[in-house]
């Protein structure tokens, strides 16, 4: 071998080695592409305890709250614009969205002495626990002329049962509606996460209890606990997001059953810890505004993620809300019940679904 051939082969060998080092990560990515569905849209706990996160106040910032189980939201404004100017894959189904006025016969609900859950509209439910009434994220009106209300109330709002407690999961307008709150007596006891003083002071509703994650309120053999959720909140874009806290609720009723209410949440791997900490009879999970996934995955669970969360919570039954009233995502308002049935059937869990529509009541006597 001549010196020239030796040098040439050495150079070609170094080039090949360099290219192999350059292409190796790409090759690995290609090889594992089929094994990875989508990038994670939450921060894995990796052994961290939700209780430790709460007790160490890792969700408290200097002037706003933090989401230790979420991912950074920088650039979301431009993603919002991209979404709003993108084609909706569900366009051909939007004309099929049904108008479903909500009618409620309060008499059988009030006569029932046990535990019942009434799906009012959107994410608003009423829990009757013996003679005590709990409303969660009550909404009776629309949320602006730009967003159509597909489930207008067709009952006399003056006839709604008196509230013992009103629970608010977070401050987004479709969950904390001031016009709906004005339907309650000013002395109604309100339970919220931290940070809503100014809003409720403006409503003159001062009988309130603010909870941090894992704080509880107890009365009349009921225990209401605020738990973490993978979400965020904002009411004034000029002030910015997360000036107040958000969360889910664990309601241990006087009737002996335990109800978990997710509020708005994206999927995260904390559901399993919550399922280990509590014996949940009914999980009420928000399912709606989940499409398109590239934009909504950071805020709301998909049908398959809802089923995964339900399994990890180890709950006996599942009920979905946050659908049918306002189209806040790309999917039509009537798609979530269809999609959750498909997802549950694939897992052999369809018989665990509480099949309930707006204005209907689920009377709980056993699980």
- pLDDT tens digits for 172-219? 999 999 999 999 999 999 999 999 999 999 999 999 999 999 999 999
The percent of residues above 70 in pLDDT, for the chain, comes to 89
**Is there a domain that residue 126 lies in?**
yes
pLDDT at 14 over 80: no
Other CB atoms within 10 Å distance of the CB of residue 348: 8
**Is there a domain that residue 83 lies in?**
no
**Is there a domain that residue 82 lies in?**
no
Comparing CA positions, the residue from 98, 151, 93 lying closest to residue 123 is: 151
22 and 113 belong to one structural domain = no
pLDDT score, position 77: 82
128 with 118: CB under 8 angstroms? yes
122 and 240 belong to one structural domain = yes
pLDDT at 4 over 70: no
Q: Residue range 84-88: average pLDDT?
A: 91
pLDDT score, position 222: 97
Sheet holding 222-227, edge to edge: 216-219, 222-227, 248-252, 258-261, 282-286, 317-321
315 and 214 belong to one structural domain = yes
Q: Quote the CA–CA distance of 117 and 128 in Å, as a whole number.
A: 6
Task: Give me the number of domains the chain comprises.
Answer: 2
270 and 200 belong to one structural domain = yes
Reported as a pLDDT band with limits 50, 70 and 90, residue 20 is very low
Q: Quote the CA–CA distance of 139 and 183 in Å, as a whole number.
A: 10
The percent of residues above 90 in pLDDT, for the chain, comes to 83
pLDDT score, position 39: 80
Other CB atoms within 10 Å distance of the CB of residue 106: 16
17 and 110 belong to one structural domain = no
At 139-151, the pLDDT tens digits run 999 998 899 999 9
Q: Residue range 155-176: average pLDDT?
A: 97
SS3 state at 217 = strand
pLDDT score, position 37: 54
110 and 8 belong to one structural domain = no
The mean predicted confidence, pLDDT, of the chain is 90
7 and 153 belong to one structural domain = no
pLDDT score, position 148: 97
142 and 24 belong to one structural domain = no
131 and 214 belong to one structural domain = yes
**Is there a domain that residue 256 lies in?**
yes
pLDDT at 29 over 80: no
Other CB atoms within 10 Å distance of the CB of residue 57: 12
**Is there a domain that residue 74 lies in?**
no
24 and 99 belong to one structural domain = no
pLDDT score, position 358: 98
Reported as a pLDDT band with limits 50, 70 and 90, residue 38 is low
Q: Residue range 249-268: average pLDDT?
A: 98
**Is there a domain that residue 286 lies in?**
yes
By residue range, what is the domain housing residue 21? 1-32
202 and 328 belong to one structural domain = yes
Reported as a pLDDT band with limits 50, 70 and 90, residue 19 is very low
pLDDT at 87 over 50: yes
pLDDT at 350 over 70: yes
Q: What are phi and psi of 224, to 5 degrees?
A: -115, 120
Helix ranges (DSSP H) in 185-270: 197-202
**Is there a domain that residue 279 lies in?**
yes
pLDDT score, position 30: 33
**Is there a domain that residue 79 lies in?**
no
1 and 101 belong to one structural domain = no
């Amino acid at each position: 071998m001549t010196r020239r051939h030796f040098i040439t082969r050495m150079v070609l060998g170094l080039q090949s080695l360099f290219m192999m080092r350059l292409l190796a990560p790409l090759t690995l990515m290609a090889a594992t592409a089929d094994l990875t569905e989508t990038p994670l849209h939450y921060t894995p706990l990796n052994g961290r305890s939700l209780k430790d996160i709460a007790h160490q106040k890792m969700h408290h910032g200097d002037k706003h709250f933090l989401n230790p189980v979420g991912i950074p939201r920088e650039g979301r404004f431009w993603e919002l614009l991209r979404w709003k100017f993108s084609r909706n894959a569900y366009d051909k189904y939007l004309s099929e969205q049904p108008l479903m006025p909500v009618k409620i016969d309060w008499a059988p609900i009030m006569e029932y002495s046990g535990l019942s859950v009434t799906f009012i509209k959107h994410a608003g439910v009423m829990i009757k626990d013996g003679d005590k009434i709990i409303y969660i994220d009550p909404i009776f009106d629309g949320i602006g002329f730009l967003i159509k209300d597909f489930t207008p109330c067709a009952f006399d709002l003056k006839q709604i049962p008196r509230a013992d407690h009103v629970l608010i999961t977070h401050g987004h307008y479709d969950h904390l509606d001031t016009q709906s709150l004005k339907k309650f007596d000013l002395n109604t006891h309100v339970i919220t996460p931290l940070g809503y003083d100014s809003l409720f002071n403006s409503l003159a509703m001062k009988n309130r209890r603010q909870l941090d994650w894992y704080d509880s309120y107890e009365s009349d053999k009921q225990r209401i606990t605020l738990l973490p959720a993978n979400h965020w909140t904002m009411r004034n874009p000029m002030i910015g997001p997360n000036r107040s806290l958000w969360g889910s609720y664990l309601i241990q009723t006087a009737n002996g059953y335990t109800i978990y209410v997710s509020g708005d949440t994206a999927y995260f791997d904390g559901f399993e810890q919550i399922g280990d900490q509590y014996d949940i009879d009914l999980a009420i999970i928000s399912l709606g505004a989940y499409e398109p996934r590239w934009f909504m995955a950071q805020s709301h669970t998909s049908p398959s993620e809802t089923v995964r969360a339900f399994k990890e919570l180890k709950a006996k039954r599942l009920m979905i809300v946050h659908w049918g009233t306002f189209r806040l995502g790309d999917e039509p308002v009537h798609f979530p019940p269809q999609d959750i049935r498909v997802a549950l059937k694939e897992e052999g869990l369809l018989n665990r679904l509480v099949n309930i529509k707006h204005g209907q009541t689920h009377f709980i006597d056993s699980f």
